[in-house]
Amino acid sequence: QDIRDCPGPLSALTELNAAVKEKFRHLRSRIQELEQMAKEQDKESEKQALLHEVENHKRQMLSNQAAWRKANLACKIAIDNSEKDQLLQGRDLLRQRKTTKESLAESASNITESLMGISRMMSQQVQQSEETVQTLANSSRTILEANEEFKSMSGTIQLGRKLITKYNRRELTDKLLIFLALALFLATVLYILKKRLFPFL
């Protein structure tokens, strides 16, 4: 909106555009960092969530760039028309030179204020993007730590399962040995009783 309403001259518009380009460059760099972080995620759901956030930022940036180009085009047309009007009004321009100088000074002041407003707005957007990246980085670290804990717990559970299986097999072997010993004992007792009570058999 500030670019669209810029009264000129073209040098003021150029300075305004340079500041906006720098902000876009910084924002693009932050989006690339976020995309790289998304690609490094191990968990697919986290990766997709981050990539979705990246796409949202890209779409917003493209929308802002399109609006910025349209505003530039409208501003340049307005400045060209204004310069043509000034050329047609040469006499009046000479008479009103003092007034024009004051108007230019006021326009320069307005442009400066507009630049400061845009700078503050872009700074806030960059800060919000940095906070989003930091939050996602913290979430990623937490997920990685939880994943490591789950891996450790899984190893402990597998070891416990192996030990339980081993003890179950040993218990089965012990029961079988006890049963065989008991059978041998009973057979021995029966044999002795048979020899004592029924020696003739």
0.85 exceeded by pTM: no
pLDDT band of 28, cuts 50, 70, 90:
confident
63: pLDDT strictly greater than 80: yes
2: pLDDT strictly greater than 70: no
Query: What's the full length of the chain, in residues?
Result: 201
Instruction: Provide the residue ranges of all domains of the chain, joining segments of one domain with +.
Output: 10-95+119-198
Work out the average pLDDT over 60-73. Answer: 79
Any idea what DSSP says for residue 2? Answer: T
In what helix (H) or strand (E) does residue 192 lie, and over which residues does it extend?
Answer: helix 97-197
Given CA atoms 80, 86, 87, 89 in this order, what sign does their dihedral have?
Answer: positive
149: pLDDT strictly greater than 60: yes
The answer to whether the beta carbons of residues 139 and 39 sit under 8 Å apart is no
pLDDT tens column, 86-135: 777 765 545 556 566 777 777 777 777 777 777 788 778 878 878 887 88
Average pLDDT, the chain: 78
What percent of the chain clears pLDDT 90, i.e. is strictly above it? 8
pLDDT tens column, 174-199: 999 999 999 999 999 888 888 888 77
Q: What is the pLDDT of residue 144?
A: 82
Q: What is the pLDDT of residue 7?
A: 59
Cis peptide before 9 (omega within 30 of 0): yes
pLDDT tens column, 35-46: 888 888 778 888
Q: What is the pLDDT of residue 183?
A: 92
Alpha carbon distance 52, 35 (integer Å): 10
Alpha carbon distance 129, 120 (integer Å): 14
10: pLDDT strictly greater than 70: no
Work out the average pLDDT over 70-94. Answer: 69
